[in-house]
Structure 1
Amino acid sequence: MTVELKVVELVLQERIATISFNRPDALNALNEEVLEQFIQCLKVVEESEADFLIVKGNGKVFSAGGDINMMMSPSQSERFEQVMDLINEAVLTLYSLPQMTISVLHGAAAGLGLSIALASDYIIAERHTKIAMNFIGIALIPDGGGHFLLEKRIGAHRAKQLIWEGKTLKAEEAHQFGIIDEIKEGDLAKHVEDYLSYWLKKPSRALKETKRIYVETSVSQLKQVLALEKRSQFAMSQSSDHKEGVRAFLEKRAPVFNQSEKDISEN
């Protein structure tokens, strides 16, 4: 079965489900429409007979992250809560799925796109993929559970460093950190197919039961982090530093940040 929505695609084929972000001309930037359709597809998968879910992006990249046009919208402040609720629901639903989930990265996975990949159980990347938790460049903090998900993979100390630096990592670096689980050359789709053929021989009920135990013992912390990110992100989105960061991004120049802690507390 294939479900072709406008900006997200879902294919259900026996025990394997595949969700593809489908805004290739926008580098699969995540706006409200993408998030809504992604959630819709996740819920279909949750109720399906599938044992495995592949999450990938059509076109040149997995996802460039949150849509900058959404951030620049005049109604951005009024829509903030709605957008954050969609982000949180998408990540929480993906993280909690009973199926084993695999994000397949190519090109780039940045910002919210990386947070979504991190919410999956396993990350496979093409060797030339680059990743970045680059919210700091526009004076924001990671959302989509980025704080929680990075800490789970690499520990709080390294997670803070990566978030603060916001630098782009090559796939090999990300693999050494433990952010990416596996790097592959050549035909990535063929490798994923071979990888799934291995897991399809395993007892799926036992796989799901192990996942359920880990989810149930950690999901309350993820919910807490998502709530904290929502509150803090609103403060950041109202700051003059954020406005400067977005302007600088659009003007392709280095931002000049100057907001003090006192300024932030007053917003």
Structure 2
Amino acid sequence: MSEVVRVKKENKIAYISMNRPDKRNALSIEMADELVAALEDANKDDDVKAIILYGEGKAFSAGGDLETINSLNNSVEIMKYMKRALAIIQTIRKLDKYVVSAVHGFAAGAGFSIAVAADFVVAQKDAKFVCSFTNVGIIPDLGLIKTLSEKVPSNLAKEWISSARPISAIVAHEKGVINRVIEGDLLEGATEFAQFIVDGPPLANQFVKQLVNHSQELTYDTNDMQETAVQTLLLQTEDNEEGIRAFFEKRKPSFKGK
């Protein structure tokens, strides 16, 4: 893996960082491909229970790499770039494991899209989120229109997108877009936040992620059937047995994902 993406695995967490600090972690084709590879590798690693995604340098990500975009000569090349960038979002959604994005500085454009595509978002108190697309006459991409529309009222989503005004971490937290505002060290705060994932049951969390992600597509009857089928499976797992033993023994359970 190249240096545009760095990976460190420690204490059951995979820390994945975008590493183009001189470009404010703008999304090159190479970075997009490496992020997808790093996410998929962490998902396959049985020792990893949670993934934390962040940016090196002064910002989470400035979004699309304008130098790369300006070098694309036709619709076919633009579409290829867009699909490779979109693969980051699609990969985060389909992973079995939870992804926490840790935002500092700013998450602008496609950087905003990536940040809020994660299962959970934490951000430093002075961080900013910017829908900067309309500043250059385009619309949000990488799933941001749908993601924002599911998190905030439609009138607010339209305002944030079309005004392109920076949204503070405080406001984003108040509106339910991010989970926690961090006042100290960002990675320490993100690691602390992720402990409930690390300590939790991997199989149950996997199903929770997918059922919640697809909940709006399901009727109540279909959802009820899926919940019942999944619960039937989970009630026969070693993790369920361990959870019950721990309850009666008045101790913290040690889940193995089995």
Q: TM-score, normalised by structure 1?
A: 0.76
Which of 159, 163, 166 is 1:165 aligned to?
A: 163
Shift of 1:194: 2.1
Counting only pairs closer than 5 Å after superposition, residues 134-145 of structure 1 correspond to structure 2 as 134-145=132-143
Amino acid at match of 2:35: F
Deviation track 1:71-97 (CA, whole Å, cap 9, x = no partner) reads 221526441011111122111111221
> What is the distance in 2 between the residues matched to 1:186 and 1:12?
22
Structure 2, unaligned stretches of length 5 or more? 219-258
Which of 23, 29, 32 is 2:26 aligned to?
A: 29
> What is the distance in 1 between the residues matched to 2:105 and 2:183?
13
Which of 17, 42, 48 is 2:14 aligned to?
A: 17
Amino acid at match of 1:40: A
Counting only pairs closer than 5 Å after superposition, residues 178-257 of structure 1 correspond to structure 2 as 178-217=176-215
Deviation track 1:200-224 (CA, whole Å, cap 9, x = no partner) reads 222232222211212344689xxxx
Count of residues in Structure 1 that have an aligned counterpart in Structure 2: 217
For residue 53 of structure 1, give the secondary structure of its aligned residue in structure 2: strand
Per the alignment, residue 255 of structure 2 pairs with none
> What is the distance in 1 between the residues matched to 2:147 and 2:140?
10
Per the alignment, residue 241 of structure 1 pairs with none
Contact residue 57 and residue 63 of structure 1 kept, 8 A: yes
For residue 180 of structure 1, give the secondary structure of its aligned residue in structure 2: coil
> What is the distance in 1 between the residues matched to 2:26 and 2:217?
26
Shift of 1:121: 0.8
Contact residue 69 and residue 78 of structure 2 kept, 8 A: no
Q: Describe the shift of the 1:76–1:58 C-alpha distance in structure 2 as closer, same or farther (beyond 3 A).
A: farther
Per the alignment, residue 253 of structure 1 pairs with none
Structure 1, unaligned stretches of length 5 or more? 221-267
Deviation track 1:162-183 (CA, whole Å, cap 9, x = no partner) reads 1111111121122222222211
Per the alignment, residue 243 of structure 1 pairs with none
For residue 194 of structure 2, give the secondary structure of its aligned residue in structure 1: helix
Q: Describe the shift of the 1:212–1:74 C-alpha distance in structure 2 as closer, same or farther (beyond 3 A).
A: closer
Quick check: 1:91 aligned with 2:89? yes
For residue 160 of structure 2, give the secondary structure of its aligned residue in structure 1: helix
Q: Which moved more, 1:5-14 or 1:30-39?
A: 5-14
> What is the distance in 2 between the residues matched to 1:125 and 1:105?
4
Q: TM-score, normalised by structure 2?
A: 0.78
> What is the distance in 1 between the residues matched to 2:161 and 2:37?
30
Deviation track 1:25-81 (CA, whole Å, cap 9, x = no partner) reads 110000111111111111112222122110000111100111111222152644101
Quick check: 1:47 aligned with 2:51? no
Which of 123, 126, 132 is 1:125 aligned to?
A: 123
Per the alignment, residue 145 of structure 2 pairs with 147
Q: Give 1 or 2 for the bigger CA radius of gyration.
A: 2
Shift of 1:114: 0.7
Amino acid at match of 2:36: I
> What is the distance in 2 between the residues matched to 1:144 and 1:83?
11
Amino acid at match of 1:96: K
Quick check: 1:69 aligned with 2:67? yes
Contact residue 70 and residue 76 of structure 1 kept, 8 A: no
For residue 6 of structure 2, give the secondary structure of its aligned residue in structure 1: strand
Q: Describe the shift of the 1:78–1:9 C-alpha distance in structure 2 as closer, same or farther (beyond 3 A).
A: same
